[in-house]
Structure 1
Amino acid sequence: MVSISRPWIETVDVLVVGGGPAGAAAAIHAAHRGFSVLLVDAARFPRDKTCGDGLTPRAMHQLRLLGFGPEIAGGYRSRGLKLHGFGGDVTAPWPNSAFGSEGSAMRRTRLDGLLFDTARATEGVTAWVNSPAVDVSIRAGRAESVTLSTPDGERVVRCSAVLVADGVRSTFGKLLGRVWHRGEVYGIAARAYCSTPFSDEEWIHSHLELRDQAGVAQPGYGWIFPLADGHVNIGCGALSTTARPAKVNTKKLLSHYAGLQRDEWRLGPVTDVAGALLPMGGAVSGVAGPNWMLIGDAAACVNPLNGEGIDYGLETARLAVDLINPRRDLTVVWPRVLRENYGEAFLLARTAARLLTYPRLLPMVGPFGFRGPQAGPLMRATARLMGNLVTDEDRDVVARAWRLATGGLYRFRGADAVLWS
């Protein structure tokens, strides 16, 4: 008789594919709701991810909701942004808001490891590493089981709900039908680390006038995030579309940018250079089925104005878990929740980012933002928008202008301009 080896079968309430901030947060929230959770990741922690490493006050708020306190980033806090460019400099403190007024920064190797380990230690959560999701059994749109390639062989997981948090490429999301619409604006970025004696600087520095070696202004910005560990995260990002692709090598641009900042920051050699493509502003479709949802970067929940995604990853994890119910079909519900929470803001941000891909626009309007009496208020408002710090409860002039602009554009272009579906 021939013995036939069969995959082991596991049964859980919620399978979370991807163990980054969104996935780990989803596992913790789901366990707190009483679900049995299996959290899986294709890699082993600690592992790196291309990121600016910044934590906005909005992200810090979500971390507090997960139970984290002052220990995040060793207690390091950032006070806001210092914006540079076009002959001027503007200081923009984080505003007092519902999210608090303190940001931070923490290497993704540390942040992701902390969140994953916390999820793994949470009662009700089982966590596997080196276990990519390689196949899915679907019936009537419903994910009935998922096949994992583990170090011990293939395992089939039967689950009531699947949360997909496997990042910007979303390999598993593609198996479920996720499509990235590259006609919308997307980001290309590179980041590195440099040693510096100024790593405890309390301000994030952003250079909104980003020029290449030939002196040509690029549709993007450079950043320096102090990490309070003897290093800074330094990087640059550019905006692109299929119609107007960014004609820049971001790694070469990063090297040039670091050279320009070297004397002021007394930077050491550039190390650990990494790059990425970033779908932004909800520019994906196929984000939900009857019992599955894409969250965080996998759902292109990335701010088109600055590439920030950690706060959205943590938020969408909580929002998605709140919807899990065996009697609820998520196919329409999840895209609607995304549109309600982010649709208008992302539509305006995508539109503004698309305008910035026109080569002549930024050199023309940039000086207005940094020179003259309007520069300070204007750039502080810009920093607030870039930090995702306008809420529905805010009543000031910036919030009113934001709502007026987003509402008007949303009505003009229609809900179909937001691509989640």
Structure 2
Amino acid sequence: MPGSRRPVRDLVVAGGGPVGLAVALHAARAGLDVVVREPRDGPIDKACGEGLMPGALGELAALGVDPEGHDLAGIRYLDGLRPHRSVEARFRAGPGRGVRRTTLHAALSEAVSAAGVPVEQRAVRAVRDVRDHVLVDDEPARHLVGADGLHSSVRTLAGLDRGPAPRRRFGLRCHVTQAPWSPFVEVHWAPHAEAYVTPVADDLVGVAVLTDQGGGFDDALDQLPALRDQLTGERTKVLGAGPLRQRVTRRVAGRVLLVGDAGGYVDALTGEGLAVGLAQARAVVECLAAGDATGYEARARSLARRHELLTHALLRATSHRIVRTRLVEVAARAPWLFSAAVNQLARPAGAVR
């Protein structure tokens, strides 16, 4: 009819990965009219370590999501050239879980479908803030949440990119068909790379490599001969991600808000990224439901602070070869300190003590 206005949806979520789907679930529970935009089809995979900290499992449990996987007792560091040197710390708050990213995505997708949230297979290509609402590809919504990952198009469209970081790190990951040999996430340290071995099933381990030296997956494993020889099973295709460091000027611009990796990312070194993203998914909906979108900036910063501080500190320290080569030895001399650091990271995002 002439003069009629299109209905204004409460929320558009850009990105159908775990964090975006968590935003949608929280929004549906808060009674918001929400839609997810995700151009990719089927279960979404990415190059990541796949270890869920206890804090991340708690966020998922609050959403009624309990993905299958392999229990994780804690974290173990090993010297890649002298693997008899190691130090380990158990999670005090209960086990973590190794979960294939496709399994996690399927579990969250099922919950989103059950909640009646539509998922549209298309990307967000244009954003325009018009005071009392935002136009997302010329369709009105009260808010847009960017949960579209490391290379967020929403972050770029909203003008929130801060520019490239000086140190560029990359991640590579595959799965190896063999029984896990440890209940821990193992971090194997080499002079120019780390490898993260995560049990994700009774007959499968994920192996993720982080490096800033370039080269391929096998090049990195050549720096870790003991681990290379231990990986005897058949390997899947190697996936890559990066550069990992992503910087933002802020996480809120008018009616556009960023969560998870889209809102800035330091590194996968400490393995807490998904726990932070899930906590931010909860926080952003709480702020929107309370009519306080601007309050999300401080909430998101607070939730990420501990993770970012510890990750920055470890990145700075391990950028020096002498520190990398002695890291496990030093940690083994102070196992109480290593345990304290691990359990700080294992706590729910934003928790203290």
Deviates more, 1:87-96 or 1:181-190: 181-190
Asked if 1:49 is matched to 2:46, the reply is: yes
Match of 2:340 among 381, 385, 391: 381
Is this contact kept in 2: 1:177–1:286, CA < 8 A?
A: no
- Distance across 1 between alignment mates of 2:273 and 2:310: 17
Closer, same or farther in 2 for the Cα pair 1:78/1:256, shift >3 Å? Answer: same
Q: TM-score with structure 1 length normalisation?
A: 0.74
How do 1:18-417 residues align onto structure 2 when only pairs under 5 Å count?
18-69=15-66, 72-73=67-68, 76-85=70-79, 87-96=84-93, 101-123=94-116, 125-129=117-121, 131-139=122-130, 144-147=134-137, 156-183=138-165, 187-196=169-178, 198-199=179-180, 201-207=182-188, 209-210=189-190, 217-218=191-192, 220-238=193-211, 246-256=212-222, 260-265=226-231, 267-280=232-245, 283-301=247-265, 305-325=269-289, 327-330=291-294, 333-343=295-305, 345-370=307-332, 374-387=333-346, 392-394=351-353
Number of residue pairs matched? Answer: 346
Is this contact kept in 1: 2:302–2:350, CA < 8 A?
A: no
Counterpart amino acid of residue 126 in structure 2:
D
Is this contact kept in 2: 1:304–1:346, CA < 8 A?
A: no
1:327 offset after TM fit, Å?
A: 4.9
How large is the Cα RMSD of the aligned pairs? 2.8
Residues 157-187 of structure 1 deviation map (CA, whole Å, 9 limit, x = unaligned): 3111111100000022211112144336553
Q: TM-score with structure 2 length normalisation?
A: 0.87
Counterpart amino acid of residue 136 in structure 1:
V
Closer, same or farther in 2 for the Cα pair 1:356/1:261, shift >3 Å? Answer: closer
Closer, same or farther in 2 for the Cα pair 1:364/1:259, shift >3 Å? Answer: closer
- Distance across 2 between alignment mates of 1:327 and 1:311: 25
Residues 185-224 of structure 1 deviation map (CA, whole Å, 9 limit, x = unaligned): 553111111111x2484222211x22xxxxxx12x42111
- Distance across 1 between alignment mates of 2:327 and 2:11: 49
Q: Secondary structure at the match of 1:42?
A: coil
- Percent identity over the alignment is 23
Residues 373-408 of structure 1 deviation map (CA, whole Å, 9 limit, x = unaligned): x343233234334545686453xxxxxxxxxxxxxx
- Distance across 2 between alignment mates of 1:274 and 1:312: 23
Is this contact kept in 2: 1:222–1:236, CA < 8 A?
A: yes
Is this contact kept in 2: 1:201–1:228, CA < 8 A?
A: no
- Greater relative contact order (Cα < 8 A, sep 6+): 2
Closer, same or farther in 2 for the Cα pair 1:247/1:171, shift >3 Å? Answer: same
Counterpart amino acid of residue 293 in structure 1:
L
Closer, same or farther in 2 for the Cα pair 1:257/1:375, shift >3 Å? Answer: same
Q: Secondary structure at the match of 2:46?
A: coil
1:21 offset after TM fit, Å?
A: 0.9
- Distance across 1 between alignment mates of 2:287 and 2:225: 48
Gaps of 5+ in 2: 1-5
Closer, same or farther in 2 for the Cα pair 1:136/1:59, shift >3 Å? Answer: same
Gaps of 5+ in 1: 1-8, 148-155, 211-216, 239-245, 395-421
